[in-house]
Structure 1
Amino acid sequence: MRTLDSLILDTAAPVLTQAKTVLVCDDPTGDLERAARDASARVLLLDSDYRRCQAAATGVEVAGDVRLDAFLAAADVVGPCVAVGEMPKSLGRLEYLAKATAGAGVADVTVVFGGNNKHLSRSMNDTLAASFTNVGASRGRGKFRCLVASGPREGTYEPRRANGFVAYGGVFAGTKEDRGGAMLREALPAELGRFLDLGCGNGSVSRGLEGAVSVTATDSDADAVLSARAIGIDTTWDDAGSRFEDASFDTIALNPPFHDRAAVDATQAQHLLDATARLLAPGGQLFMVHNSHLRYRSEVERRFSAVAQVARDATFTVLRAAH
């Protein structure tokens, strides 16, 4: 078990041993979920990641692609209740979790979120304090520390709305059109046929798109799915379009992630590229944007016979690929 997960569980232990309900929030390793089940409490999984949720044990209740506050209201949460998780990397995700947890209707609820000291900030304390009356920090362990909150305040969660976007939680780009996505959208052809926005984020690429027989979006992040749906895009929550049959789309747009929290990780695009090769119909085209300094072209060429650069600037490159 990671040092961070051990610290979170040790900090939560006084409440965890008495808890009737455990809310497992962002849980990259699954160790927090396993510990919650070992505590013999009711376990509700609020993680937004599709693959982690699919790996949840039998009996664990998964929020999935449902608003967290609506899920918790329907779940009829019983206290004492503790929420545990790795500290979200975005304040938007932290606010979402905090307000949903505080609004769960349980007076005896404690939140324990842990992270690396260099990634924790005063603004995280302030975000928690907007939903809880008591907020403090645990003792550190190595380079890690937890923020602990209790005493829920009244309030409801409202996603951010601006520029024609609706941003739930930690959705990438929030209420803005990211520059890479804008460049990708500009490179798309006039005729799109059956169009898929693979890894849609807030929906900036497929919002109001014309020239398509159908527009479908998908993302493995539940916050992204809710955000795209909120602006009218038909969006599924799954892993790399796993719900779709082979050769289902004529045009696929891909703006893959390249960060694992603060670290650059270009390998995150691998399974998404595998998916495009499977999902693209004969004669179809993939349009992919990536940071110009990352070596993605060779990965695209491994899967497609015809690859060309269609746009490039100092930051981004757009490739077109076909079988």
Structure 2
Amino acid sequence: MRTLDSLIWSAAPVDGADMVVVCEDPTGDLLSAALETGKQVVFVDPDYRRAQAALAAGASIAGDTRLDEFLAGSSGTVVAIGEMPKSLARLDYLARSIAGAGFSEVTMALGANNKHLSRSMNTVMGESFVDVAASLGRGKFRCLVASGPKEVAYEPVRGEGLVAVGGVFSGAKPDFGGELLRSALPGSLGRFLDMGCGNGSVSRFLKGDVTCTDSDADAVLSTRAIGLECTWDDAGSRLIPASFDTIALNPPFHDGTTVDATLVQHLLDASRRLLAPGGSLYLVHNSHLRYRGEVERRFARVEQVARDARYTVLRAS
């Protein structure tokens, strides 16, 4: 177990809890430790692959059900543990959903590198809990530990025809790259797939046969909240091959706080698998990132169809 996970585990009074809720767990070590206690374990990390691994290991998962609805009517004592989410909106979603679920006692212990912790995190947790304090540090890591749940409820953020559940990228606003991508789409889409849909901003207002997919549960819930069909899976793994005439892709390029241009590879492979013969992929990317070579390795014809000061849209077939 890495130092951060060990600190989080030691900061949480797991022994006295009826249930352990594992929030953000990129290594899987907190999940393993929780399962070893024999207690009821609920895994609420929004990542599809991590959630499926947790389900296979014996945990319950919130999956693509809103967390406040999944936990509503709970009782007994609970300890929630995990890595501190990067997004304050995701932190608020976790805190309000768990504090407001109905447990008699709640302790939440979330940890991170000291340089990634901020007073605004204390403030957000303080809206859902009576007591919020920092743990003793261990190396360069520390936890924020909250207890004493308040009577709170979670309400998604709404705006500009969008709904933001949890930490969905761009919140309830369209992002600039996605807007350029949407403007570059053809008038006739045929069977259309929004791959890695985020909050659904690219597909909002589109007519016809529209499907969305994302591996992040918050994104799926946000997209469904504006009336779009959306699957929660790994790069469209539940969709039928060669079944879409047009695919739009606005891929992530950050792994945590680090730029990682390789994140697009898995999505490009999936796009090639899901495109019907004669179909086209429309991809937007930050112009300084070298995505075109990755696209050309998978598609015979690639051309630039839109560009502004920050973003480029490619069409591939």
Give the Cα–Cα distance (whole angstroms) in 1 for the partners of residues 43 and 167 of structure 2: 17
Task: State the 1:78 CA deviation.
Answer: 4.1
- Match for residue 65 of structure 1? 64
Give the Cα–Cα distance (whole angstroms) in 2 for the partners of residues 103 and 270 of structure 1: 40
- Match for residue 240 of structure 1? 235
SS in 2 for 1:193: coil
Give the Cα–Cα distance (whole angstroms) in 2 for the partners of residues 3 and 321 of structure 1: 44
Please tell me whether residue 137 in structure 1 is matched to residue 105 in structure 2.
Answer: no
Q: Is the 8 A contact 1:45 1:63 kept in 2?
A: yes
Give the Cα–Cα distance (whole angstroms) in 2 for the partners of residues 144 and 59 of structure 1: 29
In the alignment, residue 6 of structure 1 is paired with which amino acid?
A: S
Q: Is the 8 A contact 2:75 2:104 kept in 1?
A: no
SS in 2 for 1:253: strand
- Match for residue 50 of structure 1? 48
- Alignment counterpart, residue 172 of structure 1, candidates 169, 173, 187: 169
- Match for residue 80 of structure 1? 77
Task: State the 1:258 CA deviation.
Answer: 0.3
- Match for residue 221 of structure 1? 216
Give the Cα–Cα distance (whole angstroms) in 1 for the partners of residues 241 and 32 of structure 2: 35
Task: State the 1:58 CA deviation.
Answer: 3.9
Q: Is the 8 A contact 1:250 1:281 kept in 2?
A: yes
- Match for residue 9 of structure 1? 9
Deviations along 1:111-166, one digit per CA (max 9) or x if unpaired, are 00001111111110000000000000001112111000000000110000111111
SS in 2 for 1:156: coil
SS in 2 for 1:303: coil
Q: Is the 8 A contact 1:24 1:33 kept in 2?
A: yes
Task: State the 1:67 CA deviation.
Answer: 0.8
Give the Cα–Cα distance (whole angstroms) in 2 for the partners of residues 106 and 261 of structure 1: 31
Task: State the 1:194 CA deviation.
Answer: 0.1
> How many pairs align?
316
- Match for residue 281 of structure 2? 286
Task: State the 1:39 CA deviation.
Answer: 1.5
Deviations along 1:220-260, one digit per CA (max 9) or x if unpaired, are 01100110111111111111000111101000000000001
Q: Is the 8 A contact 2:19 2:40 kept in 1?
A: yes
What does residue range 150-299 of structure 1 map to in structure 2 within 5 Å? 150-210=147-207, 212=208, 214-299=209-294
Q: Is the 8 A contact 1:107 1:151 kept in 2?
A: no
Give the Cα–Cα distance (whole angstroms) in 2 for the partners of residues 58 and 35 of structure 1: 12
- Match for residue 315 of structure 1? 310
Q: TM-score, normalised by structure 2?
A: 0.98
Task: State the 1:38 CA deviation.
Answer: 1.1
Q: TM-score, normalised by structure 1?
A: 0.96
Give the Cα–Cα distance (whole angstroms) in 1 for the partners of residues 97 and 278 of structure 2: 46
- Match for residue 24 of structure 1? 22
Aligned CA-pair RMSD? 1.0
Give the Cα–Cα distance (whole angstroms) in 1 for the partners of residues 5 and 74 of structure 2: 24
SS in 1 for 2:191: strand
Q: Is the 8 A contact 1:21 1:77 kept in 2?
A: no
In the alignment, residue 237 of structure 2 is paired with which amino acid?
A: S
Q: Is the 8 A contact 2:35 2:58 kept in 1?
A: no
- Alignment counterpart, residue 36 of structure 2, candidates 32, 35, 38: 38
SS in 2 for 1:55: helix
In the alignment, residue 169 of structure 1 is paired with which amino acid?
A: G
Bigger shift: residues 222-231 or 305-314: 305-314
Task: State the 1:77 CA deviation.
Answer: 3.6
Give the Cα–Cα distance (whole angstroms) in 2 for the partners of residues 283 and 109 of structure 1: 55
Give the Cα–Cα distance (whole angstroms) in 2 for the partners of residues 269 and 190 of structure 1: 26
Give the Cα–Cα distance (whole angstroms) in 2 for the partners of residues 267 and 179 of structure 1: 21
Give the Cα–Cα distance (whole angstroms) in 2 for the partners of residues 313 and 67 of structure 1: 36
Q: Is the 8 A contact 1:287 1:318 kept in 2?
A: yes
